[in-house]
């Protein structure tokens, strides 16, 4: 099989790349593990998509501040300067996404938006943002963006989508990427492409608790790394502060599943309280619940350790009217909203990944990456809320345009050795048990706070686990085995990078003997970020 442009992944970044390449006249093949839109992390996005309003410099400053001062200024400028045009072109004009309008919000919303360039929309504010600039559809924006995107591509000439298909490895010839081997319908087939765009999402399955959908196994990062591409900033794994925590909910059923509680809820006035009912964030940061995501996540984690439980108090909101989708999720799990929503940090987003430039080009010729699997430099050490969809859209379009120019009529058949599949298939329990070991190691030792000794132990465990998995992967071809391999590779890259890097943003390296025991900062992670001492110090 041949294509001008091969896109691996069907989230917003993959869709944007496919659309942009097709607009340039390229023949595009999209290969995706997904069989339903909800299989992609983009479909799960709640908060929305931040867009430049009348103060682009303020937006850029917020991104840099959230990143702990580590974001690439040129990448930030690219994101901010192109955000408005790409959202209007793709989401509004092409897809017709019906973002919430001011009339659907409150009078206060209308007044807050009155001096903006998009005052017809109900713009939200989330943590780390200094003003309202987030387009949204209730608290389920991703589904309202991704589903019409997939429908549009499915009906578009020049784009062919293959679902329930797994990219196994990149095909290379003398260091140049020529496509990928793909497992579909039980058969392995090479796909030769003039250019290949990785848009495979994050690494949620590397952790026991994540806000990602199942299947976020770091495929793009691992395939690129194994092929020799540069991967960077893997230590920056962001944890969302407020995922529903059934473990501390006395009304939760044994099989109750966690879910993300959007930043927008805190943006509208919800507050965090510990088990004693104390609101602790004002003692941690001058912006309280609207502090950068990494600061809030660490504070929630420490408050849970100290008091046993943290809840998100929504009593000052008209929660059911403002967030009906979230209210329904709470009702499904029997959450007592009067008592607050029990929350805990959960793995959420990889800020590092395949290193790319401003056009999505990776270090290997004819290889591109966009979305969560790419390290663009926009996020630095910590991502600002509601910039992931925007980054995927901006870099997806740029990567698709450039890939089309590079790959049109350039697909070449090259020699390749098909993977061996000589041994019997493994039972599902094999991969499940290995993923359990992986998740326990990452949660325990490479989680929201890390120690040097813990990272040494993690690397040793991960090397052993990867060795075991590699032994099976050499003679077996299956989605579960390759996903397990990719998750092990990605996890080891995170642990190695974390051991070699100083604390910044969501990479918090602590001294277990020197850290305070309260719910504030340890004095180093958040220096210069507006953090105030904890009341318990």
Positions annotated as catalytic residues are: 293
Angle (deg, nearest 10), helices 12-23 and 388-407: 40
Strand pairing class (271-274; 28-31):
unpaired
Q: Is 69 helix (H, G, I), strand (E, B) or coil?
A: coil
User: Within 13 A of 448's CA, how many CA atoms are on the CB side?
Assistant: 24
Nearest residue to 160 via CA among 2, 322, 342? 2
> Residue 409, Cβ neighbours under 10 Å: how many?
8
Cα 511 → chain centroid:
28
The residues, any chain, with a CB within 8 Å of residue 35's CB and separated by 6 or more, are 163, 164
**Beta pairing partners, 244:** 343
**Cβ–Cβ < 8 Å for 340, 258:** no
d(CA 516, CA 395): 41
d(CA 47, CA 168): 32
What would the two tokens of residue 153 be? Answer: 């591509």
Helix (H) or strand (E) holding 230, with range, is none
**Cβ–Cβ < 8 Å for 160, 32:** no
Cα 213 → chain centroid:
10
- What one-character-per-residue DSSP string does 321-386 give? HH-HHHHHHHHHTT--GGG-EEEEEEEEEES-EEE--TT-B-SSTTEEE-GGGEE-SSSTTSPPTT
What would the two tokens of residue 536 be? Answer: 């318990």
Could you identify the residue written with the tokens 């209007």?
Answer: 88
What would the two tokens of residue 428 be? Answer: 């599902």
d(CA 413, CA 406): 16
Helices (H), 175-217: none
d(CA 451, CA 457): 10
d(CA 27, CA 5): 6
d(CA 173, CA 193): 12
């Amino acid at each position: 099989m041949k294509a001008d442009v091969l896109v691996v992944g069907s989230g917003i970044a993959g869709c944007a790349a496919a659309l942009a390449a097709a607009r340039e006249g390229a023949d595009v093949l999209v290969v995706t593990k997904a069989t339903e839109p909800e299989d992609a992390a983009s479909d799960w996005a709640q908060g929305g998509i931040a867009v430049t309003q009348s103060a682009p410099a303020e937006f850029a400053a917020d991104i840099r501040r959230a990143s702990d001062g580590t974001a690439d200024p040129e990448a930030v400028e690219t994101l901010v300067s192109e955000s408005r045009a790409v959202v209007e072109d793709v989401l509004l004009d092409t897809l017709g996404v019906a973002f919430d309008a001011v009339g659907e919000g409150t009078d206060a919303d209308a007044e807050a938006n009155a001096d903006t360039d998009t005052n017809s929309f109900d713009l939200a504010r989330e943590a780390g943002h200094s003003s309202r600039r987030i387009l949204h559809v209730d608290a389920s924006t991703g589904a309202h963006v991704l589903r019409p995107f997939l429908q549009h591509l499915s009906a578009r000439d020049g784009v062919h989508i293959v679902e329930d298909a797994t990219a196994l490895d990149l095909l290379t010839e003398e260091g140049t990427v020529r496509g990928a081997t793909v497992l579909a319908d039980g058969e392995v087939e090479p796909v030769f492409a003039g250019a290949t765009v990785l848009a495979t999402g994050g690494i949620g399955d590397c952790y026991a608790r994540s806000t990602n959908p199942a299947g976020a196994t770091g495929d793009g990062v691992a395939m690129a790394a194994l092929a020799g591409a540069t991967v960077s900033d893997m230590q920056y794994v962001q944890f969302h502060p407020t995922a529903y925590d059934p473990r501390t909910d006395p009304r939760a059923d044994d099989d109750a599943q966690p879910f993300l509680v959007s930043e927008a809820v805190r943006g509208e006035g919800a507050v965090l309280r510990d088990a004693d009912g104390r609101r602790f964030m004002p003692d941690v940061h001058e912006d309280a619940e609207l502090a950068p995501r990494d600061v809030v996540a660490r504070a929630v984690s420490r408050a849970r350790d100290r008091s046993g439980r943290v809840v998100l108090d929504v009593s000052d909101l008209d929660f059911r009217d403002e967030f009906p989708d979230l209210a329904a999720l709470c009702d499904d799990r029997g959450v007592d909203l009067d008592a607050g929503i029990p929350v805990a940090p959960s793995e959420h987003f990889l800020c590092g990944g395949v290193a790319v430039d401003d056009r999505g080009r990776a270090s290997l010729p004819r290889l591109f990456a966009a979305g969560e699997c790419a390290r663009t430099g926009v996020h630095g050490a910590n991502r600002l809320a509601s910039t992931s969809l925007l980054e995927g859209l901006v870099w997806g379009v740029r990567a698709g345009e450039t890939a089309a120019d590079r790959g049109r009529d350039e697909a070449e058949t090259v020699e390749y050795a098909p993977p061996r599949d000589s041994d019997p298939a493994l039972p599902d329990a094999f991969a499940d048990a290995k993923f359990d070991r992986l998740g326990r190691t990452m949660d325990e030792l490479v989680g929201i706070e890390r120690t040097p000794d813990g990272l040494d132990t993690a690397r040793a465990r991960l090397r052993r686990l990867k060795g075991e998995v590699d032994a099976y992967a050499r003679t077996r071809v299956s989605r579960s085995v390759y996903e397990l391999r990719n998750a092990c590779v990605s996890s080891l890259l995170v642990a190695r990078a974390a051991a070699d890097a100083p604390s910044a943003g969501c990479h918090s390296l602590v001294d277990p003997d020197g850290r305070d025991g309260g719910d504030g900062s340890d004095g180093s992670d958040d220096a210069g970020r507006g953090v105030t001492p904890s009341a318990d110090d």
